[in-house]
């Protein structure tokens, strides 16, 4: 059976994953695989990673991360786009968080030869300096490109001061 996806050089960045044939919408295309590790272990191993602009880490759930660096499969080469044609889908195991999986699913029909992309949704806890935005620059080339892979940090809700309503004047 011919493969439905192939890895080759990408005009977006480095390697990329491309449709080897026409692919339908809403189809699981590949599982994101690699070494399963805790967040603490990945933080220790890749503490300086935010400073490189490159990672094969995929957050699986609140306990685990998938590290595609060494034992990853072709899914690690799927590039980011601000207008993606795929999305990651968490497939949760009923009782064991270690057995959760991430599948890459097509959002729409994809033509043979088209590069597969999804929105990385990278969030960093600290200030997005111009230097970090440059390190995490988006190269998707889409019309609505944000210029960065970094998602805006969630804004803290502004608390409106409660103002007591003024008493109505009873003057006659």
Q: Is the pLDDT of residue 162 over 70?
A: no
DSSP character for 49? G
5-135 under CATH 3.40.50.2000, yes or no: no
pLDDT in tens, 44-93: 888 766 566 667 999 999 999 999 998 999 999 999 999 999 999 999 99
Q: Where are the domains of the chain?
A: 5-135
Pairing of strands 15-19, 5-9: antiparallel
Q: What is the DSSP string of 61-115?
A: SSSEEEE-TTT--GGGGPEE-SS-SEEEEEE--SS-GGG-EEEEEESS-B-TTPB
Q: What is residue 124's predicted lDDT score, i.e. its pLDDT? A: 77
Pairing of strands 117-118, 79-80: parallel
Can you tell me the distance from the alpha carbon of 135 to that of 88, in angstroms, rounded to the nearest whole number?
Answer: 23
CB 101 within 8 A of CB 63: no
Q: What is residue 163's predicted lDDT score, i.e. its pLDDT? A: 58
- Give every CB contact of residue 99 below 8 A, 6+ residues apart in sequence: 93
Q: What is residue 43's predicted lDDT score, i.e. its pLDDT? A: 86
Q: pLDDT tier at 2 (50, 70, 90 boundaries)?
A: low
pLDDT in tens, 97-147: 999 999 999 999 999 999 999 999 888 777 788 888 888 889 999 999 999
């Amino acid at each position: 059976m011919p493969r439905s996806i192939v890895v080759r050089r990408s005009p977006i960045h480095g390697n990329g994953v491309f449709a080897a044939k026409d692919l339908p919408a809403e189809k699981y295309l590949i599982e994101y695989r690699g070494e399963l590790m805790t967040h603490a272990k990945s933080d220790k191993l890749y503490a300086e990673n935010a400073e490189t602009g490159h990672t094969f880490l995929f957050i699986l759930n609140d306990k685990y991360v998938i590290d595609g660096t060494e034992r990853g499969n072709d899914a690690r080469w799927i590039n980011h786009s601000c207008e993606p044609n795929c999305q990651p889908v968490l497939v949760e195991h009923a009782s064991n968080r270690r057995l959760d999986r991430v599948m890459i699913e097509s959002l729409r029909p994809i033509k043979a030869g088209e590069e597969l992309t999804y929105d990385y949704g990278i969030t960093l806890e600290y200030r997005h300096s111009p230097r970090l935005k440059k390190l995490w620059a988006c190269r998707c080339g889409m019309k609505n490109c944000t210029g960065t892979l970094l998602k805006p940090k969630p804004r803290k809700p502004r608390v409106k001061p409660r103002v007591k309503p003024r008493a109505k004047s009873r003057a006659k």
